[in-house]
Amino acid sequence: MNLRLVTILLAGVLCGGPAHSQADPVQTCAVNIKPRTQAYPWMTIERWKRMHEDQLALAEKGNVDLMFLGDSITEGWPRDIWDASFGAYKAGNFGIGGDNTGNVLWRLQDKRMARLSPKAIVLLIGVNNFGLCDEKPDQVFAGVKAVVAALRKQYPDARILLNAVLPTGELASSERRQNVVALNKMVATLDDGRHVVFRDYGVSFVQPDGSIGADIMGDHLHLTQKGYAIWADVMLPDVKKLMK
């Protein structure tokens, strides 16, 4: 998918998306199609580029039936849980830590990504638009909507398992958590019952009082081994249905 095509696609997406005030920036992370330009202590630009190239090499082989796409939460699947849960499905991991929706849109437009022909796509993206880009829920939604549209255009035969952004922040009353709740209400509207299936697995990660335990998310954002086991267990029945 070339840049002109993506630009046209995004124009259609944004025209139907939430309205923004005149004070909002013209371009945000959400729909700003560009590679990583900001280095972090845990992710240099060089490492980001290496990961992207490794994933393009995987895409060139084309032997991926189940495609995972997203940020560090997708990137971080422990190998033992990954193999046990998805090993039978020719699964490929296209998650890169720190990515926002604009970064994912940029990665998807490489012509080598078009060589993939997945049966199903597991998408989880958007939390970094909050934490690293300081965006509002409606801005993040525009980005998630654009990624879903790009995937539908690029892989029309694939079914998308659209994950709600996982709960973040220790307490249910935190601003971080409330932003995620607001976003997920909007993301749920993208479920068309056929090509895009929305699932909110968030309740599986929180305690009865709504708080998140450090045994599931050590920093109240990234999943621990136990957290990934929970995600795999609740998601696998939906994956199996989409892969049929």
pLDDT digits (tens, 9 = 90+) for 98-109: 999 999 999 999
**pLDDT confidence bin for 3, thresholds 50/70/90:** very low
pLDDT digits (tens, 9 = 90+) for 196-219: 999 999 999 999 999 999 999 999
Q: What is the 3-state secondary structure (H, E, C) of the chain?
A: CCHHHHHHHHHHHHHCCCCCCCCCCCCCCCCCCCCCCCCECCECHHHHHHHHHHHHHHHHHCCCCEEEEECHHHHCCCHHHHHHHHHHHCEEEEECCCCCHHHHHHHHCCHHHHHCCCCEEEEECCHHHHHCCCCCHHHHHHHHHHHHHHHHHHCCCCEEEEECCCCCCCCCCCHHHHHHHHHHHHHHHHCCCCCEEEECCHHHHCCCCCCCCCCCECCCCCECHHHHHHHHHHHHHHHHHHHC
Q: What is the pLDDT of residue 27?
A: 53
- Model confidence, pTM: 0.88
Q: What is the pLDDT of residue 28?
A: 80
What is the arithmetic mean of pLDDT over 73-86?
98
